Amino acid sequence: MTITTVKPTKPWMARPAQRLQSLGVFLAAIAISYFVVQISDFKGKLAYLTVFFLAFMVLDFIYQYLTLSKSAAKDAIARAVIAFGMAVVVFPIFSILVTVFLRGYKGLHFSLFSLDMRAASMNDPIGAGGLQHALVGTFLMVAIALVISVPLGILTALYLTEIRGRFTKPIAFLVQAMSGVPSIVAGLFILSALIYTVTRAYSGIMGSLALSILMIPTIARTSEEVLLLIPSDLREAGVALGGTQWRTVALVVVPAAKSGLVTAMILGIARVAGETAPLLLVAGGSDQTNLNPFNGPMASLPYYVWKAYSFGTAESVTRAWAGILVLLIIVLILFTTARFLSGRKG
Amino acid sequence: MVNPEEGEKDMSTVTPSSLSSVASASGKVRTPGTTALGVGLEARGIHAWFGQKHVLNDISLDFWSGTVTALIGPSGCGKSTFIRTLNRMHEFIPGAAMAGQVLLDGKDIYESGTDVTKIRLKVGMVFQKPNPFPSMTIAENVLAGLKLAQLKVENKDDLLEECLERAGLWSEVKDRLSAYGGSLSGGQQQRLCIARSLAVRPQVLLMDEPCSALDPGSTLRIEETISQLSSSMTIIIVTHNMQQAARVSDYTAFFLSDGGPGSMVEVGPTGEIFSRPKDKRTENYVTGRFG
Amino acid sequence: MPSATGLPQRRELTTKPRFSDKVFRGIVTTGGLSSLLLLGLIFAFLAYQGFSILKMEKFSFITGSQWQVVLNDSGAIDKANTAFGIAPMLVGTILCAIIALVVAVPVSVLAALFLTFYAPPALKRFLVAIIDLMAAFPSILFGLWGFFILMPSAEYWAKLLHKYFGWFPAFKMEVPIFTRSPFVAGVVLAIMVIPIVTSISREVFAQTPLDRVQAAYALGASRWSMIRAVVLPYGRSGVVGGAMLGLGRAMGETVAVYTVLNIVYQVNWHVLVGAGGSVASMILLKFGEAGAQEVKALMAAGLVLFLLTLIVNSIANAIVAKSGGKGR
């Protein structure tokens, strides 16, 4: 056999000359969108985007029609419309990220994490006061919610994947139904079941309970997905070695799914860390750091943001953006960690 | 993807002598290029890669109009990859690359500025598994190609009947053209897929193991269909079933991979490949010593 | 099995679980039933607290459009003049959610098509990650961003809609107040549900059988005609399910709607006019200064919202599961 010296090629990819022509079409569309928006009475970034896409669509249609065929030209229109849809989806995400960082960083300062608002008002200059109380409150409430939700969520997932009893289908259905419960309803439930009947006072633990209702389905469903990925021969191997089901699950299945279960917890935290409505109903809110979840109202980051936003002055709104920035960074870290953990397993 | 057992099952009963008799029974070998259907399809030095893996090495093969060419060989020897380079279906696989030329009527189908949809209209394809569109009726399935490629046609009913007739399905479905394609049996579905390919009037029809998912009765019907179609077009069929290759084809090409990229060991008139192969490896394969 | 059929009697295959396994199964089953218990408790307590109001108002709790608490001289509830009806809020909830879907579904389907059939792999991974991230954004973030950034733009679009499509009945306005209208709230909700609808649609599109896709291409289809002939018929029901999940999410949203919607207690079908309603936001709004009786009415409203979202989500999940997605 002779040694081949042939190079792999991809003749279906665009050639440099074609790429240059496409770039020309693209730039022409940008130029057109600039002029059209200048002379018409439409305004705003989205006007540029829309006119650009319309112009691109028309130019690309003509280009494809001239160089290829009518069906290729029609395909080009579809491609432009589909890409436009994607751009419309991506646009707000970047707008949100950019806005939060640009407006939020002005409210950051060094004592943000060491001071609470007991000695400062929302209207004070930014350097006064901080959101220690809010961070502590969110941390405590989410931590307690996690302690409640993880066992229940993972047990639910184990029931759905390991026991597979007579209730498997209804429970899978109920877990899905539960993940659709509006957060305000979770708050109303704790209010009606515990605050009005038993404690008659706001406290952090009530917030945790309300958050748990939102957290359990997230943890249960993510864990279920993870446990389903564990090959069943692992389970059979465990049982075939004479292990009881309990030992097989505890010593084989759960350890194999460990990083996935951690991902489930992290996604559960991310799901509730920014919840506002139920906390407004059941945890009250306060301006000072409260370390006792069983006594007295407790602040939280979303509550802090909500209060600062509602106050409505320039300083308070800056505080709200700073609070949102901190919250967003927390969510970003959680989310990236979860991605990393679940990606590492392949 | 491909079931390697498929060919072996039939091998046990086949001997070289019976093969050659089948081949000669299927009719004379046509002389290349005598039909007025165009030059046909020519592959020139085709290589194929998936990512870094070189899967097909330097295949040059001419397919003459009005003939049936069978591609045989063990699984993983690149037969399917090869026919997918002939209508540019190869490029759908991520990481795919190729080298060489495929000339259709003397023009390279990979040339820059070629409208690939036009190529696929001229070079049709029938797949291993029958795949009628389930959301369409039998009639809509046959005419789907016209809609997909945005072609206009004068008389749809005539075309419908003609294509179903050529695919050998008309008499079976003419009373239920508005039933859904999924209501047919497997063999009927495959003939529906053939009819669907015919509706856009291809010059070349590629068939990638069209019978491997079908029962023997349906296989026979499809083979009859292939024989009837072969006078009016170029047919290239990948098959694991050597009896089938012997029954339907005029030419046979034997592909083999020795662990590296697949290459073509031998090509020739079907009768010769099965009765007097020049290469020892071909002989081993067609006599069932491996595969 | 009776021997009349000629078959030997079947033996029961029983594995008697050990004690430890019995305990294990018991604990897991109990934990597994927690969702049933919690959903049951939510229903029970909201119904218990709201019962007296529902009994008093009967069906007019849903159909009535008055919400007023009148006390008589002794400070007790004046039953004759007190009325609790959530029709305007219910209409508003549904209106905002429908606007959200009308905006979000087409855009999400296009984005899902882009991700499945057009995007190069690296770009696809990146876009999928940021869309998933967007689904994890807290609703207060959408509330703030919606109020400060989106609302001015959305008002401008509303003016354009009114200017060019004012003949359309829903776009009529008697008073030119464009701020904090159901349209604005609907746009904010649309952006919140886009990640949900997009990822469900993407999941379903990605499951389109490859052989049908190839068959279409082999017949000379362009990418778009392949999508129209194969992908959209296959994915249609999945998209419907994803849209309904988005509907459920939009109907239950509280904070983000609260910031951008002017809650006015009247049934308003004119989506551009700055007066709308939302059950969830109304609960938050009225909760602060509600007396004992009114809180019970709010609990009843919560019950209605709970049942409404439960029904919508259940139907949605059933549709999504049937068409090959995982649901949310």
Give the pLDDT band of residue C326 (cuts 50, 70, 90). low
Q: Please report residues of B whose CB lies closer than 8 A to that of A66.
A: none
CA atoms A124, A127, A133, A139: torsion sign: positive
pLDDT per position as a tens digit, C279-308: 999 999 988 888 888 889 999 999 999 999
C149–A181 C-beta distance less than 8 A:
no
User: Using one digit for the tens of pLDDT, what is the confidence trace for C99-157?
Assistant: 999 999 999 999 999 999 999 989 999 999 999 999 889 999 999 999 999 998 888 88
In the predicted structure, residue C92 carries a pLDDT above the cut 60: yes
Name the more confident of B75 and C91. Answer: C91
Kindly indicate the confidence band of residue C327, based on its pLDDT and cuts at 50, 70 and 90: low
C76 pLDDT above the threshold of 80:
no
Q: What is the pLDDT of residues B199-233, one digit of tens each?
A: 988 989 999 999 888 888 888 888 998 998 888 88
Q: Is the pLDDT of residue A79 over 70?
A: yes
What residue of C is the nearest CA neighbor of A218? C328
Q: Chains with 3 or more CB pairs closer than 8 angstroms to B?
A: A, C
Mutate to test the interface with B, among A2, A3, A12, A70 (most CBs of B within 10 A): A12
Residue A6 forms part of a structural domain: no
Is residue A4 one of the residues assigned to a domain?
Answer: no
Q: Is residue C324 very low, low, confident or very high in pLDDT (cuts 50, 70, 90)?
A: low
A204: domain range?
132-344
- Distance CA(A275)–CA(A211), nearest Å, equals 8
Q: Does the residue A113 lie in any domain?
A: no
> What residues of A are in the B interface, CB distance below 8 Å?
1, 4, 6-12, 15, 18, 67-72, 74
Q: How many residues does chain A have?
A: 346
By the CB < 8 Å criterion, does B97 face chain A?
yes
In a domain, B114, yes or no: yes
CA of C197, closest CA in chain A: separation in Å?
Answer: 11
pLDDT value at position B30?
A: 42
CB contact under 8 A, A83 and C118: yes
**Is residue C140, in this structure, part of any structural domain at all?**
yes
Q: Which residues of C101-134 are buried (b: 16+ CB within 10 A; e: fewer)?
A: bebbbebbbbbbbbbbbbbeeeeeeebeeebbbb
C23 touches chain A (CB under 8 A): yes
Nearest to C144 by CA among A324, A181, A161: A324
Task: Give the residue among A177, A59, A276 at the shortest CA–CA distance from C309.
Answer: A177
CB C286 within 8 A of CB C279: no
Helix crossing, A204-229 with A183-190: angle to 10°? 130
Res. B7: pLDDT tops 60: no
Residues A161, A55 share a domain: no
Residue contact B133–C222, C-beta within 8 A = no
Q: How many domains does chain C have?
A: 1
The answer to whether residues A89 and A142 belong to one domain is: no
Chain C closest CA to B115's CA: distance in Å? 10
Last residue of a domain, one of A53, A72, A106: A106
Residues of B in contact with A1 (CB under 8 A): 57, 260, 263
Lowest mean pLDDT: which of A112-116, A189-193, B97-101? A112-116
Q: Is residue A219 a part of any domain in this protein?
A: yes
pTM of structure: 0.87
Assess whether pLDDT exceeds 80 at residue B117: yes
- Determine how many CB atoms are found less than 10 A away from the CB of residue B31: 11
Dist CA C247 CA B205 (whole Å): 48
The reply to whether B52 falls in a domain is yes
The pLDDT-based confidence of C3 (bands split at 50, 70, 90) is low
- Cα distance from A6 to chain B (closest Cα, Å)? 7
pLDDT in tens, B153-170: 888 899 999 999 888 899
Q: For C65, list phi and psi in degrees, rounded to 5.
A: -120, 20
Q: Which residue has the tokens 């800056």?
A: A318
Q: Measured between CB atoms, does C225 come within 8 Å of chain B?
A: yes
Kind of pairing between the strands at B234-238 and B68-72: parallel
Read off the pLDDT of each residue in B55-80 and give the average, rounded to a whole number: 90
In this predicted complex, what is the ipTM? 0.89
To the nearest whole percent, how much of chain C has pLDDT over 90?
Answer: 51
Among C228, C284, C275, CA closest to C256: C284
pLDDT band (50, 70, 90) for residue B25: very low
Beta carbons of B131 and C211 less than 8 Å apart: yes
Residue C207's CATH number: 1.10.3720.10
* CATH label of the domain that carries residue A157: 1.10.3720.10
Pair (A100, A136) in one structural domain? no
Residue A235 belongs to a domain: yes
Q: Which residue among B129, B135, B144 places its CB closest to the CB of C219?
A: B144
Number of domains in chain B: 1
Domain annotation covers residue B193: yes
Residue for token digits 């066992």?
A151
Residue B110 structural domain: 5-23+37-286
The percentage of residues in chain A with a pLDDT greater than 90, rounded to a whole number, is 44
Report yes or no on C63 lying in a domain. Answer: no
Of the three residues A59, A90, A106, the one that is the final residue of a domain is A106
* Cα–Cα separations (whole angstroms), residue B23 to A181, B17, B161: 71, 10, 32
Cross-strand pairs, B53: B50
Do C118 and A79 lie within an 8 Å CB cutoff?
Answer: yes
User: Within an 8 Å CB–CB cutoff, is residue B145 touching chain C?
Assistant: yes
Q: Which of residues 230-259 of C touch B (CB under 8 A)?
A: 230, 233-234
What is the C-alpha separation between C235 and C248, in angstroms, rounded?
20
- A129 versus B175: the higher-pLDDT residue is B175
pLDDT-based confidence at B27, cuts 50/70/90? very low
Tens-place pLDDT, residues A318-336? 999 999 999 999 999 999 9
Residue C192 belongs to what domain range?
Answer: 87-322
| In a shared domain, residues A166 and A22 | no
pLDDT tens sequence across A203-262: 999 999 999 999 999 999 999 988 988 888 888 888 788 778 888 888 888 888 888 899
Going edge to edge, which strands form the sheet with B123-126?
Answer: B123-126, B204-208, B234-238, B68-72, B251-256, B263-269
If one compares B209 and A6, the residue with the highest pLDDT of the two is: B209
Would the pLDDT of A138 be above 60?
yes
A188 and A262, same domain (yes or no): yes
- Subunits in contact with chain A (3 or more CB pairs closer than 8 Å): B, C
Residue pair C280/A184 in contact (Cβ under 8 Å)? The answer is: yes
Report how far Cα A237 is from the mean position of its chain's Cα atoms: 38
First-to-last alpha carbon distance for chain A, in angstroms, is 39
Model confidence at B17: pLDDT above 50: no
Per-residue model confidence (pLDDT) at position A344: 55
Residue B32 lies in a domain: no
- Asked whether residue B291 is domain-assigned, the answer is no
Average pLDDT over chain A, rounded to an integer: 88
Residue B141 burial (C-beta neighbours within 10 Å; 0-12, 13-18, 19+): buried
* Contact residues for C18 (Cβ-Cβ < 8 A; gap 6+): A244
Instruction: Let me know: does A256 contact A341? Beta carbons within 8 Å.
Output: no
